[in-house]
Structure 1
């Protein structure tokens, strides 16, 4: 069972896209501008990765993933547990471990058959070959990936040291996110000193480098407030159109989070080319190196996660279901079936009867067949058995180094923390994708690098599913018991599934595509008599098929950095020193004081919260109707 909508043709000529460095969405181009490419049939389409932040991708089915049976989800849960075992990729080929894990799966209380247990081991033997090469494993359609070995322990320790430095030196770190009751804060904030339309200054004719960033502070022209996009309310998802209480639009005319630009060097590594917003390019240059090293560790994992966004046939259901059949009901039970009462409405009787059938009928569950690899990386083709019963697809992989070496990447870097106390020992987040449409984030990576007196956070996922295949299931009219018992879904409800979750253990990297929503489930202090904290580094990868306004275009906006430049550069900094003095009393121009920036930050965070609410409604717009 493969994903229906193909979305790969638009990427055939991605390397031929003309890259204009001074014509960008919201500056010289419409805010909703996107690159277009002609496919092999001559039809022009947007040449970008799909995202659940975009109503159009949801409406067109580009964010849909194969619907999964409950049994398949049970299989994935078992595989998730096995791949949490240290060096599982080495142990899985050992018959001793394989037999032990099969037996444990069938006795786990989950609905796991012998066939399913054998599939689990066979798939993990195959996934182990991938892990040996790419140091990542993908169990969920999408692909959501995890790795416990991509980032070495020495680098995790360096990140921990960097966090301590930032906590001691950044005044703004005492300010927590609104609506989190003093629990969540950014150590490297993405919504502090963002691009503010109608206020921030932009250089219209030259680019800012990492080494000369401070010299450009206060220069440039004020970026105008963008005009309205061509997206009308009629273009939005139907549930959004139907909600009068939602006025938010997909693109913000107020703010944009600023990414930094990255360039591929002759050494085959990605290097930070422009300053990271809110990370001082001189004082904290050693932290730049740590961030750079960490990102380079994740490039193969990013490739794995992004590949299904280009090659939509990459995803497949493990268990197929074709006909609704039930175990026989005993004569005694059948005699207890509800009968229509005098003057009872037919609809009320049918509701009672359906409830009774749901309680007493048991569907015959589908079983797994034999595992066959699909979407195989070319480098692994020679390692597959020669006696496979059917042909396999060769994966059309994304390779950031190969595909975007000339264009470069744009990345938003964030260090975030959660602090809990005995008075308030719990924390969780809501379902969301990262950023708004302005940022065009296609994937998000999280590395949990510190955990003190905290339970291990768990990241849960939910996705929109392809429902056309459900219409092909043979069943009696108005019979939807199979839908609930096989798929855990209900007719008339949003076509969403929660395929599983990943533990965010110390040092683990999890990368999520923007076609999938995620949230941190409720976690708490281990010892509720003492405070605790969690720290994580996040990389938000801007869709590399588009270029947005970045720190290559916007000079540093922090007033405190100007004073730093004055102290460090002496007479060379006189023009900047005068600029700092002029702005010291909050003129409302650039650079910004911390007080002013914190006010803007609250507005930006509130807008993100409103966009999340908007995106929730759009995400639930595809309703299952059989």
Structure 2
């Protein structure tokens, strides 16, 4: 066993040396981390580019609802999302970075989808909202954003666009691994140790049998351990050849993906020194087709350690119905020893947690619930912060409506574009008349006030979905009594 472990560690060291990727929780799952995927120079570029979003007047800062002024949203996909029955789409043309601002207000209204289908998963789909991804292509094997990132001005922040493109480049090999294992099945996961099937009897043992079992247990502490069959390490779950073709997860199709971008800061002060942590959740809703999340922790300052925790639903049918785990009635001991579960427990198994220190890049499939653990100021007399970039990958073979089809919906962007374009009739008007025109504009584009109201409705809908997922996990419990 010891030799096996050493061989596996060496194989993982080789994988890290070549790709800077460390697989964790990878016995049957694959969550990836790296502290060197994003080079220092690129991190500094990101910090510099993001600072333009941070250095705004206090009344322009967008503090996350319900965060007590601790979470600052810089680019948040729930603001100005696609709203069925409200947003406009250009079904037969593409909105690129150069023309998107000129197309504000154009298109036809996207109809509300029918409220039906999906059976038991119906409540996990939204017929009201959808996060809007941007389209990304790889014309020369390097990422290029082909449509605007929602809530990130394509002209004011073009430098940040280029930085995010570089980070997407770094994320693609990670997404390749996650998608290949969990959604494509091309990389096979192997059991480290093969366990033979055990049959458990329901027969009641007599006194002689019980006495013999007790004697055997006492002898176990003194007997010489049988070496048994040695473990043979013959392969690593993730091999170099599986990773070198970083676009394998696209299945030979066009080198295009859709990515939802989020930038947020957690800001702590001596007056507000504690962050209470997040709730267990899965990113997005099923109509958004998010298959993987990449989170880059690029700036931690004066905060204590925090971890990103993971848990998943236990396959109870595999344990209790198909014969893979046979048990006696009320067999609490073996359930606890083998699976770490208790009788009538929730259908949840903790996978573990990953330290979220600065420079860490974490990528995982979207089938896991995850949760941010609490942290606080390291020095309570000084402010501190944690800054992240999160990127959500849409299923490459199942794209959704994106910013390539939906022009920007922001009224403030439209007012700037119209007011500064002196070549148009509106742009030629005096400022006083322009203000009157802007005030008279109807429902579209959306004002910031309306967008925040919609964001509240979207967040409420997602909270209800997360609660329903929790309810499934809470009320679906093991019951080992066969009657």
- TM-score class, shorter-chain normalisation, is 0.7 to 0.9
CA distance in 1, matches of 2:428, 2:290: 34
Deviation at 1:157, TM superposition (A): 0.9
2:463 aligned with 1:604: no
**Which of these residues, 447, 472, 480, is aligned with residue 593 of structure 1?**
447
Q: Which residue of 2 aligns with 1:250?
A: 124
Q: 1:493 to 1:398 in 2, by over 3 A?
A: farther
Q: Which residue of 2 aligns with 1:373?
A: 235
Aligned residue runs from structure 1 range 204-215, under 5 A: 204-215=91-102
Give CA-to-partner distance per residue, 1:266-319, whole Å, 9 cap, x none: x21121000001111111111100110111011111111222112187334434
CA distance in 2, matches of 1:613, 1:444: 21
Deviation at 1:588, TM superposition (A): 4.7
**Which of these residues, 175, 188, 200, is aligned with residue 302 of structure 1?**
175
Aligned-residue Cα RMSD (Å) equals: 3.4
CA distance in 2, matches of 1:176, 1:583: 30
Contact kept, 8 Å, 1:410 with 1:544, in 2: the verdict is yes
Quick check: 370-379 or 192-201, which moved more?
370-379
SS in 2 for 1:419: strand
Q: Which residue of 2 aligns with 1:406?
A: 254
Quick check: 563-572 or 595-604, which moved more?
563-572
Q: 1:453 to 1:396 in 2, by over 3 A?
A: closer
Deviation at 1:510, TM superposition (A): 0.1
Q: Which residue of 1 aligns with 2:312?
A: 463
Deviation at 1:188, TM superposition (A): 0.8
Contact kept, 8 Å, 1:167 with 1:173, in 2: the verdict is no
Q: Which residue of 2 aligns with 1:175?
A: 62
Q: Which residue of 1 aligns with 2:15?
A: 130
2:133 aligned with 1:259: yes
Q: Which residue of 2 aligns with 1:350?
A: none
Deviation at 1:501, TM superposition (A): 1.0
Give CA-to-partner distance per residue, 1:23-70, whole Å, 9 cap, x none: xxxxxxxxxxxxxxxxxxxxxxxxxxxxxxxxxxxxxxxxxxxxxxxx
Q: 1:434 to 1:599 in 2, by over 3 A?
A: same
2:105 aligned with 1:218: yes
CA distance in 1, matches of 2:136, 2:252: 10
So what's the TM-score if we normalise by structure 2?
0.83
Aligned residue runs from structure 1 range 262-281, under 5 A: 262-265=136-139, 267-281=140-154
Deviation at 1:615, TM superposition (A): 2.3
CA distance in 1, matches of 2:111, 2:167: 36
SS in 1 for 2:24: strand
Contact kept, 8 Å, 1:404 with 1:544, in 2: the verdict is no
SS in 1 for 2:422: helix
Give CA-to-partner distance per residue, 1:187-243, whole Å, 9 cap, x none: 1111111111121111122110011110101111122222213134xx34xxxxxxx
SS in 1 for 2:135: strand
Q: 1:194 to 1:175 in 2, by over 3 A?
A: same
Give CA-to-partner distance per residue, 1:473-532, whole Å, 9 cap, x none: 565543220221232112433332112111111111000101111111111111122222
CA distance in 1, matches of 2:155, 2:478: 54
So what's the TM-score if we normalise by structure 1?
0.65
Q: Which residue of 1 aligns with 2:216?
A: none
Deviation at 1:152, TM superposition (A): 0.4
Q: 1:313 to 1:551 in 2, by over 3 A?
A: closer
Contact kept, 8 Å, 1:566 with 1:573, in 2: the verdict is no
Q: Which residue of 2 aligns with 1:445?
A: 294
Q: Which residue of 2 aligns with 1:430?
A: 279
**Which of these residues, 519, 522, 531, is aligned with residue 371 of structure 2?**
519
CA distance in 1, matches of 2:237, 2:244: 8
Contact kept, 8 Å, 2:419 with 2:434, in 1: the verdict is no
SS in 1 for 2:124: coil
CA distance in 1, matches of 2:126, 2:59: 25
Q: Which residue of 1 aligns with 2:265?
A: 417
Q: Which residue of 2 aligns with 1:479?
A: 331
Contact kept, 8 Å, 1:134 with 1:301, in 2: the verdict is no
Q: Which residue of 2 aligns with 1:55?
A: none
SS in 1 for 2:51: helix
Gaps of 5+ in 2: 201-209, 212-220
Q: Which residue of 1 aligns with 2:207?
A: none
Q: Which residue of 1 aligns with 2:390?
A: 538
SS in 1 for 2:179: helix
CA distance in 1, matches of 2:425, 2:38: 39
CA distance in 2, matches of 1:520, 1:576: 51
CA distance in 1, matches of 2:404, 2:148: 8
CA distance in 1, matches of 2:359, 2:237: 29
Deviation at 1:570, TM superposition (A): 2.8
CA distance in 2, matches of 1:592, 1:436: 23
**Which of these residues, 409, 413, 421, is aligned with residue 557 of structure 1?**
409
Give CA-to-partner distance per residue, 1:567-607, whole Å, 9 cap, x none: 55431584799998577337552212212212212222222
